[in-house]
């Protein structure tokens, strides 16, 4: 396929982590994120990094893939670093003209950088190890437990699944329309901002028309196949916790305990 | 020559696991008033090829010269290319976007920077070439037209740029049988009356047999055959090998020959084949 | 005669379009379709074919008149789901009828809606995907499939609901010749297994093998007969913006040229045979 658009970034292997129930993976990831913010000093991050690396090794996903998720956010991380570095008030360490770098600033940016990097690699690990369909199933099952959202859990997961389903179609469609309008002399690379925004009209109108057409077609096809919403609906796959899931929860709890414990290890960089 | 393609190759995602050779060493020439039919299976390279002719795709290697301009030279602006080559993609009605038919058709000529008078003339002319009533349709919204009318308006939007070369990708899909015939007759007319060079991409052997002067057969990214219909269809065994059919009338002639009749199998249109069968079987 | 599966009594369907209120898409149409038939429906663009198709599945309801599917009145909401179980539908655009992100999940969609038990759904999914030759693709994503493969998945999704009747609404229109031929083969296989097939198309050669052809024009049924009967009148078909298959055109030209071959020839084999009998 020439335009194999990848949504999510599932990397299939036969690892234990891949075989876990998606709910286990989602909950563990959430816990992991919480504990990244509980962690207070570098020991905490080192512990988190240690457990994350362990997960990567067990998952058999190549490290390169895991780190690829970072590429898109390097810029954001650097920006946060710079802001934290120069705008945190406190005890001055270094003065460069109007810019004062403080001890608190250095600490804050170190904290931020670790948190962000660990957070992004952690979540991308989850999506690497969980097929999109399992992910939406898992989210549906978890939302069901939330008091306010329980009633619409089916709708939410249906919406997610349809969105995922149609992103590649609409990307292809956009490419097609773009080529057609280019063939009619449309210029999408104008330097003039107003002109450039205007030039998107011939793309967006057909794209919306087509998206509505698709929505209409799909609604019709779903109805024809007896869809009446979530009520009375069964599933081909039913999520069921296995022994490995309980084991996983215990391991995750221990790991979180370790991260929590690092709060009490004294640390002073500067 | 109108189009000269030399040793054109195109490789998608070169150097990755997704590497895929879409076109391999394709060379051909097309004359300024030719009517070319391109046939081949889905994935045979047809659509990759046509996108090269107006630089929507850039070749991995090889050159494309259109009306004596090498279109991949860095100093050639896109406008100069689209002035020369118009492409009508499959289901072109999905590119309509303006409030009125007039505005939509004028999009192309306006992009070329023509003055109002010229735009006006071109819009009117191209709507009429497409067999529509200009006065009746010009102020309508393209979205309230019937499917067949939308398609015609969309094609008018391409020919309004007056390209001497017009490429059409499956322009008849989704139309009823009469609609298909009308569309093909209109295209034939652009070729014969207006002298446009037509390149028609289609799956229908019967259509190319009846309308095209020359046929290109693509298979697995290669140009396998290029010549007049009689020549291309003469080798029905080759076509069968790449799982393409010969026109049905020709298949009948060949079946009769197999049965032992002394019959000339060179005809490929219904009319010609009927003539030959009557010559042999009539009294 | 087999049992009636579909019955239309004086059905009209009127809708308001943007620039013309009260467009009559169907005009007092009456029609019976029997179990096991393979019905081809043809007609020019805008003749009401698609409207007719949607009425058979209770996707739309008649403005006047009655539609009965498996004896159930489509206007009665308590039957809607049952009607859709009896008579299912495959649409035109292969890309717009897959709901799920994975082939087998999509096939499961219908049975899931019917509330079947998971092991039963699994059985139906597997058997349906095998029936259309897509079992090996069950873990693929829709955008990894060709148009023809997507349509086969759409059929699997429909047959997993075990319908008695399937409407194909121009389901071959967006496919290439190979994809089209595949789909038609599947239709005939299903038909031979007892499923009633209703097939709307613009390609005359695709319905040569139908047991019955209905010709629509301006919201009315203007022709109803066997392929032989319908294709024996090329002039009339042309007047209604239709055509005859290439072989029929050739045979007609031969008869007009004075050759003594029987009328109503539909296939290459028949024509060759008839000609061989002459000499």
* Nearest to B164, CA basis, from B118, B200, B122, B195: B195
pLDDT of C19 reads 65
If pLDDT is split at 50, 70 and 90, which confidence band does C23 have?
A: confident
Domain boundaries, chain B: 3-243, 247-283
Percentage of chain A exceeding pLDDT 90: 36
Q: Chain A, 158-197: which have a CB under 8 Å from a chain B CB? A: 173, 176-177, 179-187
Q: What percent of chain B has pLDDT over 70?
A: 99
| 3-class SS string, B44-86 | CCHHHHHHHHCCCCCCCEEEEEECCEECCCCCCCHHHHHCCEE
Residue-range domains of chain C with CATH = 4-228 (3.40.50.300)
* The pLDDT of residue A174 is above 90: yes
Which pair of structure tokens corresponds to residue B14? 């070169």
Please say whether the dihedral angle defined by the alpha carbons of residues C67, C72, C76 and C81, taken in this order, is positive or negative: negative
The reply to whether C105 touches chain A by the CB within 8 Å rule is: yes
pLDDT at position A211? 93
Rounded Cα–Cα distance for residues B70 and B52 (Å):
12
Interchain contact, B95 vs A180, CB within 8 Å:
yes
Evaluate if residue B181 carries a pLDDT over 60. Answer: yes
Q: Which residues of A161-170 are buried (b: 16+ CB within 10 A; e: fewer)?
A: bbebbbebbe
- The alpha-carbon gap from A225 to the nearest alpha carbon of chain B, in Å, equals 25
Q: Cβ A184–B82 below 8 Å, yes or no? A: yes
- Give the residues across from B200 on adjacent strands: B37, B168
Q: Where are the domains of chain A?
A: 16-264
Q: What is the DSSP track for A67-79?
A: HHHHHTTHHHHHH
Classify A167 in phi/psi space as left (phi over 0), alpha (psi -120 to 50) or beta. Answer: alpha
Contact across the interface for C258 and B278, Cβ inside 8 Å: yes
| A18, A170, A225, best to mutate vs chain C, most C CBs in 10 Å | A225
Q: Does C246 touch chain B (CB under 8 A)?
A: yes
- Residue A1 pLDDT greater than 60, yes or no: no
Alpha-helix runs per DSSP H in chain B: 46-53, 78-82, 101-111, 116-129, 134-137, 147-159, 177-192, 205-211, 229-234, 236-241, 248-258, 270-281
Lowest-pLDDT range of A179-183, B126-130, C140-144: C140-144
Confidence band of A4 (pLDDT split at 50, 70, 90): very low
Q: Alpha-carbon distance A101 to A107, whole Å?
A: 11
Q: Kindly state the average pLDDT of the residues C230-258.
A: 93
Distances, alpha carbon B108 to alpha carbons A187, A192, A195, C165, in Å: 11, 20, 16, 48
pLDDT of B117 above 50: yes
Predicted local distance difference test score (pLDDT) of residue A5: 40
In DSSP terms, C29 is beta-bridged to C11
Q: How many CA atoms lie within 13 A of B49 on its CB side?
A: 34
Residue in A21, A19, A14, A28 with CA at minimum distance from that of residue A241: A21
Please identify among residues 237-256 of chain A the ones whose CB lies closer than 8 Å to any CB of chain B: none
- Render B160-174 in DSSP notation, one character per residue: TT--SEEEEESTTTT
Confidence grade of residue C16 (pLDDT, cut at 50, 70, 90)? confident
- Is A184 close to B108, i.e. CB distance below 8 A? yes
Which of C264, C209, C206 lies closest to C234, judged by CA?
Answer: C264
Q: Are A154 and A229 in contact (CB under 8 A)?
A: yes
pLDDT per residue as tens digits for the range B123-163 = 999 999 999 999 999 999 999 898 899 999 999 999 999 99
Here the ipTM equals 0.91
Q: Are residues C104 and C156 in contact, defined by beta-carbon separation less than 8 angstroms?
A: no
pLDDT, residue A237, reads 85
Does C202 contact chain B (CB < 8 Å)?
A: yes
- Unique residue bearing structure tokens 């249109």: B269
Q: How far apart are CA A37 and CA A48, in angstroms?
A: 11
Cβ count near C243 (within 10 Å): 22
The answer on pLDDT for A56 being more than 90 is: yes
CB contact under 8 A, C112 and A164: no
Summarised one tens digit per residue, pLDDT across range C4-15 is 999 999 999 998
For B139, which DSSP code? Answer: T
CA C83 – CA C72 distance, rounded (Å): 7
Mean local confidence (pLDDT), C154-183:
94
The rounded Cα A137 to chain-centroid distance in angstroms is 16
The pLDDT value given to residue C263: 87
Residues A107-148: tens digit of each pLDDT: 888 888 888 889 988 988 898 899 888 888 898 889 888 888
Q: What is the pLDDT of residue A198?
A: 85
Distance of CA C26 to the CA centre of its chain: 18
Task: Find the closest chain A residue to C163 by CA distance.
Answer: A225
Contact C97 A217 (CB under 8 A): yes
**What's the pLDDT at A69?**
73
C-alpha atoms less than 13 angstroms from C-alpha of B231 in its C-beta half-sphere: 11
pLDDT at A168 over 80: yes
Q: Which residues contact C212 (CB under 8 A, 6 or more apart)?
A: C37, C38, C39, C40, C224, C225, C226
List the subunits that have 3+ CB pairs under 8 angstroms with B: A, C
* Chain A contact partners (≥3 CB pairs within 8 A): B, C
- The answer to whether residue A3 scores a pLDDT higher than 50 is no
C71-97 pLDDT per residue, tens: 999 999 999 999 999 999 999 999 999
Spatial separation of the C-alpha atoms in residues A236 and B275, rounded to whole Å: 61
A8: CB partners within 8 A, 6+ apart: A127, A131, A132, A135, A164
The answer to whether residue A2 scores a pLDDT higher than 70 is no
**pLDDT tens, position by position, B25-34:** 999 999 999 9
Q: Is it the case that residue B198 has pLDDT exceeding 90? A: yes
Among B143-147, C140-144, C203-207, top mean pLDDT goes to C203-207
The pLDDT of residue C238 is above 60: yes
CATH architecture, domain B3-243: 3-Layer(aba) Sandwich (3.40)
Query: Which chain B residues are within 8 Å of A185, Cβ to Cβ?
Result: 78-79, 82-83, 107-108, 111-112, 161
Q: Of the candidates C41, C38, C61, C15, which has an alpha carbon nearest to the alpha carbon of residue C214?
A: C41
CB < 8 Å to A172, chain C: 143
Is B141 near chain A, with CB under 8 Å? Answer: no
CB contact under 8 A, B54 and A183: yes
What pLDDT is recorded for position A28? 95
* Count of Cβ atoms closer than 10 Å to residue C158 Cβ: 26
Sign, CA dihedral B53-B58-B63-B65, equals positive
What average pLDDT is seen over chain A?
86
């Amino acid at each position: 396929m020439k335009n194999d658009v990848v949504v999510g970034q599932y990397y299939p292997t036969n690892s234990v982590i891949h075989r876990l129930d998606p709910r286990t993976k989602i909950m563990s990831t959430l816990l992991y994120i919480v504990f990244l913010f509980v962690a207070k000093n570098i020991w905490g991050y080192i512990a988190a990094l240690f457990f994350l690396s362990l997960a990567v090794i067990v998952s058999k996903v190549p490290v390169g893939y895991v780190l690829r998720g970072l590429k898109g956010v390097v810029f954001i991380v650097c920006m946060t670093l710079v802001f934290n570095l120069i705008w945190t008030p406190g005890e001055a360490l270094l003065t460069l003209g109007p810019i004062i770098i403080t001890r608190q600033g250095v600490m804050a940016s170190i904290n931020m950088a670790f948190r962000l990097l660990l957070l992004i690699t952690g979540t991308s690990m989850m999506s690497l190890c969980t097929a999109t369909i399992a992910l939406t199933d898992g989210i549906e099952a978890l939302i069901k437990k939330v008091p306010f959202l329980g009633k619409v859990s089916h709708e939410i997961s249906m919406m997610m699944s349809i969105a995922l389903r149609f992103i590649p179609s609409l990307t292809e469609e956009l490419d097609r329309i773009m080529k057609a309008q280019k063939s009619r002399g449309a210029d999408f690379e104008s330097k003039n901002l107003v002109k450039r925004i205007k030039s998107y009209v011939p793309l967006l109108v057909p794209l919306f028309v087509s998206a509505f057409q698709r929505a209409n077609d799909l609604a019709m096809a779903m109805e024809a196949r007896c869809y009446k919403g979530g009520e009375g609906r069964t599933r081909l796959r039913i999520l069921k916790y296995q022994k490995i899931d309980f084991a996983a929860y215990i391991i995750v709890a221990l790991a979180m305990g370790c991260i929590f414990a690092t709060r009490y290890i004294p640390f002073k960089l500067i | 020559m109108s189009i000269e393609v030399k040793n054109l190759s195109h490789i998608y995602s070169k150097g990755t696991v997704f590497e895929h050779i879409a076109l391999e060493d394709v060379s051909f020439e097309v004359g300024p008033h030719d009517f070319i039919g391109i046939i081949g299976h889905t994935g045979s390279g047809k659509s990759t090829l046509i996108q090269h002719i107006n630089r929507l795709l850039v070749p991995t290697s090889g050159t494309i010269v259109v009306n004596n301009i090498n279109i991949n030279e860095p100093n050639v602006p896109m406008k100069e290319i689209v002035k020369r080559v118009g492409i009508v993609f499959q289901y072109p009605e999905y590119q309509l976007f303006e409030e009125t038919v007039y505005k939509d058709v004028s999009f192309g000529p306006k992009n070329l920077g023509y003055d109002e008078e010229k735009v006006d003339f071109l819009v009117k002319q191209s709507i009429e070439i497409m067999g529509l009533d200009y006065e009746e349709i010009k102020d309508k919204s393209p979205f309230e037209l019937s499917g067949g009318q939308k398609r015609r308006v969309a094609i008018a939007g391409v020919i309004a740029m007056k390209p001497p070369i017009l490429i059409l990708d499956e322009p008849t899909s989704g139309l009823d049988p009469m609609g298909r015939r009308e569309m093909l007759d209109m295209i034939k007319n652009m070729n014969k009356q207006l002298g446009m060079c037509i390149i028609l991409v289609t799956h229908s052997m019967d259509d190319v047999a009846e309308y095209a002067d020359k046929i290109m057969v693509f298979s697995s990214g290669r140009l396998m055959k290029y010549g007049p219909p009689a020549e291309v269809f003469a080798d029905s065994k080759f076509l069968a090998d790449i799982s393409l059919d010969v026109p049905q009338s020709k298949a009948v002639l060949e079946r009769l020959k197999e049965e032992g009749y002394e019959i000339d199998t060179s005809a490929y249109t219904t009319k010609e084949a009927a003539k030959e069968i009557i010559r042999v079987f009539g009294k | 005669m087999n049992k009636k599966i579909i019955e239309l009594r004086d059905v009209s369907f009127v809708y308001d379009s943007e620039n013309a209120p009260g467009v009559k898409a169907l005009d007092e149409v009456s029609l019976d379709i029997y179990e096991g038939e393979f019905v081809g429906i043809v007609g020019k663009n805008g003749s009401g074919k698609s409207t007719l198709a949607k009425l058979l599945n209770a996707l739309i309801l008649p403005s006047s008149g009655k539609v009965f599917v498996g004896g159930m009145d489509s206007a009665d909401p308590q039957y809607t789901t049952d009607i859709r179980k009896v008579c299912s539908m495959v649409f035109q655009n292969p890309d717009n009828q897959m709901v799920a992100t994975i082939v087998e999940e999509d096939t499961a969609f219908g049975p899931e809606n019917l509330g079947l038990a998971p092991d039963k759904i699994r059985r139906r999914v597997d058997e349906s995907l095998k029936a259309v030759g897509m079992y090996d693709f069950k873990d693929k994503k829709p955008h990894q499939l060709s148009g023809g493969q997507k349509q086969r998945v759409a059929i699997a999704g429909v047959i997993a609901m075990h319908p008695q009747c399937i409407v194909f609404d121009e389901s071959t229109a967006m496919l290439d010749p190979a994809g089209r031929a595949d789909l038609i083969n599947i239709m005939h296989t299903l038909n031979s297994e007892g499923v009633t097939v209703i097939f709307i198309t613009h390609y005359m050669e695709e319905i040569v093998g139908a047991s019955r052809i209905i010709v629509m024009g301006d919201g009315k049924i203007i022709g109803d007969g066997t392929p032989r009967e319908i294709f024996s009148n090329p002039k009339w078909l042309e007047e209604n913006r239709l055509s005859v298959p290439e072989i029929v055109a050739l045979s007609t030209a031969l008869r007009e040229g004075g050759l003594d071959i029987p009328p109503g020839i539909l296939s290459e084999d028949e024509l060759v045979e008839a000609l061989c009998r002459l000499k």
